[in-house]
């Protein structure tokens, strides 16, 4: 074999091989246990911009307390559904996941979550009694408190730009603002089926978990009615659109409002009087976990003061943890973002709320069909088809014309 | 007319590159908002360079791209050689079609089928740690292979058969003739195949999404998962850097390809 080529080949293979070794060394070095944590993106204090790195804190704390080295492998997902898909595919195994309420219900129903042993969680009492325990109001997703420990919660409200919406606007304080024709082209609606239907259901005073198709239809009609005043259906784009004033009104989560307010102080926020949605994200341990006790220690660690405050300050979402809520420094921090920021997040007893429950199979199909129906008759469709058809006709016509001309010329 | 055609080209390039330009410009924005450009700063780059997770993802991506491109290039070159030497048309054609299928297949189909295969293998072997670098490497080599074959194959077809025959007449063994005569001629194809697989592997999100594990996150996966809440501005910086890297690689590929062409043409004339 030619020497030069052989060495090239060898070099290529050698390039690949050490990598294999390097990678397989990464997990399970010596006595280190790896704890796999799967959380929402940007949902835990990670040490960026001078915040606390809570995972590193846990690793240190665990080593000091139990003498075992734990490495937290922290990875993130961007929706409940993608987390569920990953977990149920069986290709990966996580020790701690943080799904939202309706997804927890579904995972409990499908027997994917492990029962927690609260003896390993001495700080469970830090959770506010409204969220955990026998008198809890907001533990609808896990009424027996067997599987989930609340991590963060939030409420939907309406964000509006005070330079574009007058302070004496009669629609302020109500979902009516999202349907107001005077703000046509400046309103943003959720591009998330459950939340979008929620806005109409709360406005009409319907049950968000209704099993009656007629009620869902009513909400659909209301949403169709709203279509011509909307600028669009959006999710993350909402941050930029509200911050740079290209939209005036949007429904979104209270915590995210504070993040937007940091960049644009003209924004204001209210919880609609008709009622709104409250959701809870909670920490759970999947059945496939191999280190359940360490996972329980991890969940418990996140309930203690320093990490819990760090996480609440990092995410801006409301914490169900009393230690956080009563922390002076935290209250000051929330109020430094916006005057009355703390009140906005926690003084919400007067707001009527309800929560989304997991929809059963048939209901889910019906619901998805309704959502399709809403999104499908978007007006942009037809012109695009016409443009495509015209281009196609020109191409075919031009081609045949050239072909025919060439043939005629060739004949002579 | 000339002016019009220039305008047309300008417009097309403007539309193609404006999103990337916006991204790059705003990655230097001090205020971290798309609303206004408050000042030029490297702040987000600085934050990015302190983001260990992003860096380990970048390292993983590079390691994966280099190794999968290398393996795919070696396998693909020999594959193309075999296909080229095949005599019977009725076998050669179907095999060519078969190698092209993974390229035509939507990524999502490749991704899901790979995942199902690996899950099945994991159950069969009764192991729980199958997913990770290994599965990603297999998947990436799989989708890189047809591109390597596609770029090497035409080089073989351009090859003058009599050259190799002449070499053998002059005393080369068949293998020696391949390495001394044929291989130097097809090197540009191999290089462009290598570069192509490298960029494809670096870019890939869909297939990686299905076959990755938390032990080995690639950069596209990491960036995507950051978008659950408000996107970190250091991600803008990161994306800008990726664009720069891809641009450099493409330039290298093009220059390498055309330089080699010129060289071989010159050689042919003298």
Kindly list the distances between the CA atom of residue A48 and the CA atoms of A42, A121, A236, B90, B238, in Å, as whole numbers in the listed order.
10, 28, 21, 61, 15
More confident residue, A22 or A340: A340
Q: What percent of chain A has pLDDT over 90?
A: 62
Give tens-digit pLDDT for A67-120.
999 999 988 888 888 899 889 888 888 999 999 998 999 999 999 999 999 999
Tell me, yes or no, if B34 comes closer than 8 A to chain A by beta carbon.
Answer: yes
Tell me, yes or no, if B180 comes closer than 8 A to chain A by beta carbon.
Answer: yes
Tell me, yes or no, if A19 comes closer than 8 A to chain B by beta carbon.
Answer: yes
Tell me, yes or no, if B132 comes closer than 8 A to chain A by beta carbon.
Answer: yes
According to the model, what pLDDT value does residue A155 have? 94
Give tens-digit pLDDT for B134-189.
999 999 999 999 999 999 999 988 888 888 889 889 988 888 888 888 888 899 89
pLDDT band at A2 (very low <50, low <70, confident <90, very high): low
According to the model, what pLDDT value does residue B29 have? 82
Mark whether A174 and A302 lie in a shared domain: no
pLDDT band at A7 (very low <50, low <70, confident <90, very high): low
According to the model, what pLDDT value does residue A77 have? 87
Mean pLDDT along residues A325-342: 93
- Mean pLDDT across chain B, nearest whole number? 86
Dist CA A59 CA A69 (whole Å): 7
Chain A contacts of B133, Cβ < 8 Å?
19-20, 23-24
ipTM score: 0.70
Chain B contacts of A237, Cβ < 8 Å?
none
Tell me which residue in A27, A46, A245 faces B215 most closely, judged by beta carbons.
Answer: A27
According to the model, what pLDDT value does residue A331 have? 94
Bridge partners, residue A188, by sequence: A232, A250
Biggest alpha carbon–alpha carbon distance for chain A: 98
Does the pLDDT at position B265 exceed 80? no
Tell me which residue in B70, B122, B176 faces A15 most closely, judged by beta carbons.
Answer: B70
Mean pLDDT along residues A259-280: 92
CA dihedral A16, A21, A23, A26 (to 10 degrees): -160
Dist CA A85 CA A72 (whole Å): 22
* Beta carbons of B34 and A240 less than 8 Å apart: yes
Tell me, yes or no, if B126 comes closer than 8 A to chain A by beta carbon.
Answer: no
What is the residue-wise DSSP string for A279-304? EEEEEE-BTT-S-HHHHHHHHHHHHS
Tell me, yes or no, if B207 comes closer than 8 A to chain A by beta carbon.
Answer: no
According to the model, what pLDDT value does residue B2 have? 84
Does the pLDDT at position B233 exceed 60? yes
Mark whether A238 and A301 lie in a shared domain: no
Mark whether A257 and A309 lie in a shared domain: no
**What is the domain-level CATH number for residue A249?**
3.40.190.10
pLDDT band at A8 (very low <50, low <70, confident <90, very high): low
Tell me, yes or no, if A256 comes closer than 8 A to chain B by beta carbon.
Answer: yes
**In Å, how far is A11's CA from the nearest CA of chain B?**
9
Q: Is residue A399 part of a domain?
A: no
Q: Is residue B39 part of a domain?
A: no
According to the model, what pLDDT value does residue A3 have? 57
Mean pLDDT along residues A373-385: 73
Q: Is residue A352 part of a domain?
A: no
Q: Is residue A334 part of a domain?
A: yes
Tell me which residue in B36, B74, B132 faces A9 most closely, judged by beta carbons.
Answer: B74
Dist CA A18 CA A23 (whole Å): 8
Range with the poorest average pLDDT among A23-37, A172-186, A237-251, B88-102: A23-37
Tell me, yes or no, if B51 comes closer than 8 A to chain A by beta carbon.
Answer: yes
Q: Is residue A21 part of a domain?
A: no
- Residue of B71, B75, B228, B233 for testing the chain A interface, max A β-carbons within 10 Å: B228
Residues in chain B: 270
Q: Is residue A20 part of a domain?
A: no
* Beta carbons of B226 and A41 less than 8 Å apart: yes
With a CB cutoff of 8 Å and minimum separation 6, the contacts of A320 are: A127, A128, A130, A131, A132, A138, A150, A151, A152, A153, A280
**In Å, how far is B73's CA from the nearest CA of chain A?**
9
With a CB cutoff of 8 Å and minimum separation 6, the contacts of A62 are: A68, A70, A294, A297, A301
- CB contact at 8 A, A65 and A120: no
Mean pLDDT along residues A197-211: 92
According to the model, what pLDDT value does residue A113 have? 95
**What is the domain-level CATH number for residue B201?**
1.10.3720.10
Q: Which of residues 72-91 of A touch B (CB under 8 A)?
A: 73-79, 89-91
Q: Is residue B257 part of a domain?
A: yes
* Beta carbons of A243 and B131 less than 8 Å apart: no
More confident residue, A51 or A400: A400
Chain A contacts of B71, Cβ < 8 Å?
12-13, 16
What pTM was computed for the model?
A: 0.79
According to the model, what pLDDT value does residue B228 have? 64
**In Å, how far is A40's CA from the nearest CA of chain B?**
6
H/E element, B95: helix B89-104
Q: Is residue A52 part of a domain?
A: yes
Does the pLDDT at position B269 exceed 50? no
Mark whether A66 and A97 lie in a shared domain: yes
Q: Is residue B16 part of a domain?
A: no
Judged by DSSP in three states, B70 sits in helix
Q: What percent of chain B has pLDDT over 90?
A: 32
* Interface A-B: count of C-beta contacts within 8 A: 131
Mark whether A245 and A368 lie in a shared domain: yes
According to the model, what pLDDT value does residue A1 have? 46
Does the pLDDT at position B126 exceed 90? no
* Beta carbons of B230 and A16 less than 8 Å apart: no
Q: Is residue B26 part of a domain?
A: no
Tell me, yes or no, if A7 comes closer than 8 A to chain B by beta carbon.
Answer: no
Q: Is residue B238 part of a domain?
A: yes
Domain that holds residue A169: 154-278+362-375
- CB contact at 8 A, B151 and B192: yes
- The count of domains in chain A is 2
Give tens-digit pLDDT for B23-82.
888 888 877 666 677 788 888 888 888 888 888 888 999 999 999 999 999 999 999 999
Chain B contacts of A9, Cβ < 8 Å?
74
According to the model, what pLDDT value does residue A380 have? 59
pLDDT band at B245 (very low <50, low <70, confident <90, very high): confident
Mark whether A118 and A182 lie in a shared domain: no
Tell me which residue in A76, A236, A315 faces B225 most closely, judged by beta carbons.
Answer: A76
Q: What percent of chain A has pLDDT over 70?
A: 92
Mark whether A158 and A147 lie in a shared domain: no
pLDDT band at B194 (very low <50, low <70, confident <90, very high): very high
Domain that holds residue B157: 54-263
Give tens-digit pLDDT for A125-180.
999 999 999 989 899 999 999 999 999 999 999 999 999 998 888 889 999 999 99
- Residue of B46, B229, B235, B236 for testing the chain A interface, max A β-carbons within 10 Å: B229
- Mean pLDDT across chain A, nearest whole number? 88
**In Å, how far is B134's CA from the nearest CA of chain A?**
8
* Beta carbons of B213 and A92 less than 8 Å apart: yes
Tell me, yes or no, if B19 comes closer than 8 A to chain A by beta carbon.
Answer: no
Dist CA A11 CA A171 (whole Å): 71
Q: Is residue B192 part of a domain?
A: yes
* Beta carbons of A92 and B74 less than 8 Å apart: no
Q: Is residue B5 part of a domain?
A: no
Judged by DSSP in three states, A247 sits in coil
Give tens-digit pLDDT for A20-62.
544 444 444 457 899 999 999 889 998 777 788 999 999 999 9
Mean pLDDT along residues B197-204: 90
* Beta carbons of B74 and A49 less than 8 Å apart: no
- The count of domains in chain B is 1
Q: Is residue A92 part of a domain?
A: yes
Tell me which residue in A75, A256, A264 faces B35 most closely, judged by beta carbons.
Answer: A264
Q: Is residue B33 part of a domain?
A: no
């Amino acid at each position: 074999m030619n020497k030069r080529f052989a060495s090239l080949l060898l070099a290529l293979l050698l390039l690949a091989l050490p990598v294999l070794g390097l990678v397989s060394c990464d997990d399970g070095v010596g006595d280190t246990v790896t704890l796999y944590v799967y959380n929402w993106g940007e949902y835990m204090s990670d040490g960026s911009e001078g915040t606390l790195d809570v995972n590193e804190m846990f690793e240190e704390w665990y080593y000091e307390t139990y003498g075992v080295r734990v490495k937290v492998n922290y990875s993130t997902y961007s929706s409940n559904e993608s987390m569920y898909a990953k977990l149920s595919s069986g290709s990966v195994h996580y020790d701690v996941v943080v799904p939202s309420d309706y997804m927890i219900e579904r995972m409990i129903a499908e027997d994917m979550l492990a029962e927690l042993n609260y003896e390993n969680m001495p700080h469970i009492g830090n959770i506010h009694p409204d969220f955990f325990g026998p008198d809890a109001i907001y533990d609808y997703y896990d009424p027996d408190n067997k599987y989930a420990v609340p991590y963060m919660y939030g409420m939907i409200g309406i964000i509006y730009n005070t330079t574009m919406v007058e302070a004496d606007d009669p629609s302020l304080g109500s979902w009516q603002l999202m349907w107001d024709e005077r703000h046509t082209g400046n309103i943003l609606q959720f591009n998330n089926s459950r939340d979008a239907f929620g806005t109409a259901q709360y406005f009409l005073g319907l049950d968000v978990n209704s099993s009656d198709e007629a009620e869902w239809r009513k909400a659909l009609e209301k949403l169709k009615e709203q279509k011509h005043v909307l600028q669009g259906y959006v999710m993350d784009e909402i941050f930029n659109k509200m911050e740079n004033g290209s939209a005036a009104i949007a429904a979104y989560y209270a915590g995210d409002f504070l993040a937007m307010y940091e960049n644009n102080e003209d924004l204001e926020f209210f919880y609609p009087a008709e009622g709104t949605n409250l959701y809870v994200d909670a920490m759970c341990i999947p059945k496939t976990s191999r280190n359940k006790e360490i996972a329980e220690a991890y969940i418990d660690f996140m309930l203690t003061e320093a990490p819990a405050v760090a996480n609440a300050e990092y995410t801006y979402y409301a914490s169900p943890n009393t230690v956080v809520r009563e922390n002076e420094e935290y209250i000051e921090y929330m109020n430094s973002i916006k005057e009355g920021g703390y009140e906005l997040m926690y003084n919400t007893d007067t707001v009527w709320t309800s929560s989304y429950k997991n929809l059963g199979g048939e209901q889910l199909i019906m619901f998805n069909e309704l959502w399709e129906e809403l999104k499908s008759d978007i007006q942009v469709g037809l012109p695009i088809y016409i443009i495509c058809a015209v281009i196609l006709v020109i191409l075919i016509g031009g081609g045949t014309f050239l072909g025919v001309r060439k043939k005629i010329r060739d004949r002579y | 007319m000339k002016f019009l055609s220039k305008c047309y080209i300008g417009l097309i390039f403007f539309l193609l590159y404006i999103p990337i330009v916006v991204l790059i410009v705003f990655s230097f924005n001090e205020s971290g908002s798309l609303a206004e450009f408050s000042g030029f700063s490297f702040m987000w780059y600085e934050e990015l360079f302190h983001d260990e997770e992003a860096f380990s993802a970048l390292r993983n991506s590079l390691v994966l791209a280099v190794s999968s491109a290398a393996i795919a290039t070696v396998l693909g070159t020999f594959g193309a050689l075999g296909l080229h030497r095949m005599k019977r048309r009725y076998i050669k054609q179907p095999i060519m079609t078969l190698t092209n299928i993974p390229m035509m297949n939507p990524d999502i189909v490749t991704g899901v089928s790979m995942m199902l295969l690996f899950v099945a293998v994991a159950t069969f072997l009764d192991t729980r740690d199958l997913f990770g670098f290994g599965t990603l490497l297999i998947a990436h080599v799989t989708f890189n292979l047809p591109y390597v074959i596609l770029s090497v194959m035409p080089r073989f077809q351009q090859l003058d058969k009599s050259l190799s025959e002449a070499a053998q007449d002059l005393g080369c063994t068949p293998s020696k003739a391949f390495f001394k005569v044929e291989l130097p001629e097809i090197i540009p194809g191999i290089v462009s195949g290598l570069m192509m697989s490298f960029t494809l592997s670096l870019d890939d999100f869909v297939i990686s999404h299905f076959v990755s594990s938390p032990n080995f996150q690639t950069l596209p996966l990491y960036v995507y998962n950051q978008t659950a809440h408000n996107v970190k501005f250091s991600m803008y910086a990161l994306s800008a850097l990726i664009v720069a890297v891809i641009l450099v690689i493409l330039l290298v590929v093009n220059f390498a390809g055309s330089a080699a062409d010129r060289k071989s043409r010159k050689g042919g004339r003298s």
